[in-house]
Chains A and B, each alone.
Chain A
Amino acid sequence: MHIMEGFLPVAHAAAWGAVSTVCVGFGLRSIANSIKTKPELKMLLGVSTAFTFILSALKLPSLTGSCSHPTGTGLGAILFGPLAMAPVAAIVLLFQAVLLAHGGLTTLGANIFSMGVVGPLAGYGIYRLTRIIGLSTSLTIFLAASLADLATYITTATQLALAFPDPAGGFAASLIKFLGIFAVTQIPLAISEGLLTVLIYSFIQKHSSDELTSLGFNMNAEEERI
């Protein structure tokens, strides 16, 4: 879920921008370190960024009939690891702003933080956790992808509530309001994205886990991530 251009007050926009700059810088440094040993990684991440952008341009059949699109944060975090996702999200969000007039430049920081930092961290954390518990692969992927979406949506609602506290009830009342209003589109979206990610994952595994393995991904065992 994107915060529109110009929606946040100056101080909030600047603060989220600063936080996200640090996160993107941190992500870039870890990518640069991995590139030293695996030079093909740069091209892989660049191409995957384009893939994520395409993913966000697809319409997802949603349960309530609202128009929504997959975010790919969960899938990306599972494939590449959570740290690489901040720069990827930064580029995807910039492209969405400039090429589709969706999101914006002044709210780029806030959006990177929710979609590129919190979402992937939550998704990856849940992926590792459910792996340890030993749930089935489908359930693991479903939980990681849909909870990454939910974490993104809760972060966005928190950002909006911080910027626009309720005149009577303050931050808490405002947070409940935003969570309630956006739940209409975001909860069905999280469920459909979770289902879609499971289908994508099983599709890839069925059709070409060999090819993925030769590229450095091992879908079955633990693999190296950034």
Chain B
Amino acid sequence: MRIDTYAYSNRWRQVHPGEKGLFALFGLTASLLSKSPLLPFGIAAVMAATTILGAGIPWREYLRLALFPTLFLLWSCLALAVSFSGGEFYLVNIPALKATISLSRQGIGQAELALARSLGATLSLLFLALTTPMTEITGLLRSLGTPKLLIELMTIAYRQIFVFLEIAGQIRAAQEARLGYASVRIAMKSLAGLTGNILLRSLSRARQNHHGLLARGYDSELLFLSPRHTWSLRNLIAAVTIGTTLNVLALVIRP
């Protein structure tokens, strides 16, 4: 949960979440609208630069956080480039399945574009995730008219995650100290004990929370206060200008 820690401690913590959200949203749409792989790589660079130089996330840490989704992405793009129905670049023949694995020119193009778009979009998302805490994203969603019930469930769940993470860590450490993950068979049993325990705890925790709410005059509605943020004209203009430029470029640039 390193991302969450940075969301609370970065340099742009006090910036209005709407401004950061708008900037990330523009990055997302521009990445998706791009027709050539060049622009999304540019968007990725803009987003990485803003996150590292602007919000002050250490670059080593940023690379580490971006690495996992990128690897996952490469694996997915490999699936796009490969074709079983005969491409230009022949790779392997599997006689048992009567199939040939090959790379097709069009498939490679598709994979290249998907990789670029996805990278631009992922780094846009990472910008929002690293600069804005979940509670403020929830506040943003609330002001955008998300159903109240969904917001309430989100808030309850977000708080509980950290409670459970701590419990899960403790149980896991205790199990490991007793060689609970020594073999696959034992590991499955330990994991079932861990999950079963957390499930039971979560059920009784829910009951306790509900009683706690009732004791405090709960009237089937949870009320939240959002921290006050002021819109900054300068940030807003910057976000809209850069965002619109990227989107216009995405629509204009042809492969």
Contact = CB atoms under 8 A, between A and B. Distances in A.
A182 B79 CA distance: 9
B53 interface: no
B118 A7 contact: yes
A57 B1 CA distance: 10
B77 to A, nearest CB: 9
A87 B147 CA distance: 11
A49 B196 CA distance: 15
B46 interface: no
Interface in A1-25: 3-7, 9-10, 13, 24-25
Given A44-B206, A91-B150, A167-B104, A60 B191 contact: yes
Nearest to B168: A54
A104 B118 CA distance: 10
A177 B152 contact: no
Interface residues of A, number: 76
Interface string B110-151: 100010011111101110110000100100000000010110
| Chain A interface main SS type | helix
A138 B69 CA distance: 36
A200 B72 contact: no
Interface stretch (A112-120, A124-132, A144-152, A205-213): A205-213
A38 to B, nearest CB: 10
A10 B207 CA distance: 43
A102 B1 CA distance: 12
A42 B86 contact: no
A171 B46 CA distance: 35
Contact of A50 (B66, B147, B160): B160
Interface string B28-62: 10011100000010000000000000000000000
A5 B189 CA distance: 34
A171 B76 CA distance: 17
A39 B117 CA distance: 44
Nearest to B117: A6
A135 interface: no
B122 A104 contact: yes
A177 B87 CA distance: 13
A195 interface: yes
B153 A54 contact: no
B82 interface: yes
Among A58, A90, A99, the most chain B Cβ lie within 10 Å of the Cβ of A99
Among A10, A28, A98, the most chain B Cβ lie within 10 Å of the Cβ of A98
A197 B154 CA distance: 25
Contact of A6 (B80, B122, B198, B205): B122
A24 B203 CA distance: 23
Interface of B: 1, 3-4, 28, 31-33, 40, 65-66, 68-69, 72-73, 76, 78-80, 82-87, 104, 106-107, 110, 114, 117-122, 124-126, 128-129, 134, 137, 147, 149-150, 152-161, 163-165, 168, 184, 187-189, 191-196, 198-200, 202-207, 209-210, 213, 220
7 contacts: A4-B72, A4-B76, A6-B32, A6-B118, A39-B210, A60-B191, A177-B82
What are the 6 closest A-B residue pairs judged by CB atoms, nearest first? Answer: A6-B121, A46-B156, A199-B192, A50-B160, A203-B196, A169-B85
